[in-house]
């Protein structure tokens, strides 16, 4: 049944391309006898296959008419969840190749997914680093905490003359559509930014301390707010792209505005 798939010229070409590339990566110039690869006398002398490190030697079999056993062998490995999981573990490239066929995903689409996952992982790691710094500040006594009804208030110092507070509100304030706020007080003014999502205030404040000037200006906080409010679809993480580069760029733009 799966041989019918290769009646489609595009699919047949894809299977051959996959097979030849794997052979080239293994530095195999010529196929070998399947009987030698498998150690079985069941196969005829003229049955040939590329060795590579396929899940099964038969997967690398070649024919004079350029048909392959790629889809036949991989379909068999997807017959049960356990076999599919084993294939993904032992030969992830073959597994992804088959998933691309079944889902209709192009190479470009798979590359975009891969890039998005990398960005998401980078963003998650960056977020964890910022939150870890916040916890270390609290543990060291650099943050003073005060509790009043419905509000937890955390105060710390920014640049000279700049006092910063992060307020975490109880559910009472949910009707105002925010749960956290950054409150900045300096020699000339006091202002605040409110956020609907948990930890956004902490993330922005820590980035300003670690990556910026720690002056907590309206311009710099506005830029950082825009960055952290962009949500990545996978895992609902926050985009960070290249955190250091983005932060420096934001800081330069903020200074230009002032």
Q: Which tens digits make up the pLDDT trace of 2-22?
A: 667 777 777 788 888 888 888
Give yes or no for a contact between 212 and 251, defined as CB atoms under 8 angstroms apart. Answer: yes
Mean pLDDT taken over the chain: 77
pLDDT band, residue 42 (cuts 50/70/90): confident
Residues 101 and 134 in one domain: no
Query: Is the domain of 93 the same as that of 121?
Result: no
Which residues constitute the domain of residue 30?
2-105
C-beta separation of 87 from 34 below 8 A = no
Helices (H), 78-217: 81-90, 92-103, 107-140, 200-211
The span from the CA of 136 to the CA of 128, in Å, is 12
Which range among 11-20, 161-170, 209-218 shows the weakest confidence by mean pLDDT?
11-20
Domains of the chain: total: 2
Task: Look at residue 122 in the predicted model and tell me its pLDDT.
Answer: 83
98/119 same-domain check? no
At 109, is the pLDDT very low, low, confident or very high (cuts 50, 70, 90)?
Answer: low
Confidence check: pLDDT of 137 > 90: yes
Residues 95, 170 within the same domain: no
Is 90 found in the same domain as 15?
yes
Most confident of 21-30, 166-175, 200-209: 200-209
Q: Which residues contact 215 (CB under 8 A, 6 or more apart)?
A: 158, 159, 162, 208
Are 14 and 80 in the same domain?
A: yes
Q: Are residues 63 and 14 in the same domain?
A: yes
Using the 3D structure, point to which of 105, 129, 149 is the last residue of a domain: 105
Q: How confident is the model at residue 144 (pLDDT cuts 50, 70, 90)?
A: very high
E strand intervals along 43-97: 48-49, 61-62
Instruction: Give the alpha-carbon dihedral of 178, 179, 185, 190, to 10 degrees.
Output: 20
The answer on 210 and 167 residing in a single domain is yes
Whole-number percent of the chain with pLDDT over 90: 17
Q: Can you state the percent helix, strand and coil of the chain, rounding each to 5?
A: 55, 15, 30
172 pLDDT band (50/70/90 cuts)? low
Do 149 and 253 fall within a single domain? yes
What pLDDT does residue 169 have? 80
Same domain? For 92 and 198 the reply is: no
- The last residue of a domain, from among 105, 131, 153: 105
Last residue of a domain, one of 105, 132, 165: 105
Domain identity same for 119 and 222: yes
Same domain, 126 and 241: yes
- Does residue 38 have a pLDDT over 80? yes
């Amino acid at each position: 049944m799966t041989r019918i798939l290769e009646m489609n010229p595009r699919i047949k070409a894809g299977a051959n391309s996959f097979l030849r590339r794997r052979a080239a990566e293994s530095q195999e110039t010529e196929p070998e006898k399947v009987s030698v690869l498998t150690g079985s006398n069941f196969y005829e002398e003229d049955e040939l296959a590329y060795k590579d490190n396929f899940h099964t030697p038969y997967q690398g079999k070649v024919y004079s008419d350029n048909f392959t056993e790629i889809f036949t062998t991989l379909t068999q490995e997807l017959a049960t969840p356990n076999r599919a999981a084993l294939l993904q573990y032992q030969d992830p490239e073959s597994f992804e190749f088959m998933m691309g066929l079944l889902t209709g995903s192009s190479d470009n689409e798979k590359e975009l997914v891969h890039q998005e996952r990398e960005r998401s992982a980078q963003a998650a790691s960056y977020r964890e680093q910022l939150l870890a710094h916040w916890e270390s500040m609290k543990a060291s006594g650099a943050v003073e905490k005060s509790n009043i009804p419905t509000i937890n208030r955390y105060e710390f110092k920014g640049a000279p003359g700049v006092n910063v507070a992060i307020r975490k509100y109880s559910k009472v304030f949910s009707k105002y559509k925010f749960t956290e706020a950054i409150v900045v007080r300096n020699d000339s003014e006091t202002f605040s930014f409110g956020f609907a999502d948990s930890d956004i205030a902490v993330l922005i404040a820590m980035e300003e301390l670690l990556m910026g000037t720690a002056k907590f200006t309206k311009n710099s906080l506005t830029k950082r707010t825009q960055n952290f409010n962009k949500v990545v679809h996978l895992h609902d993480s926050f985009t960070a792209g290249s955190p250091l580069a983005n932060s420096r760029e934001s800081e330069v733009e903020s200074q230009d505005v002032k």
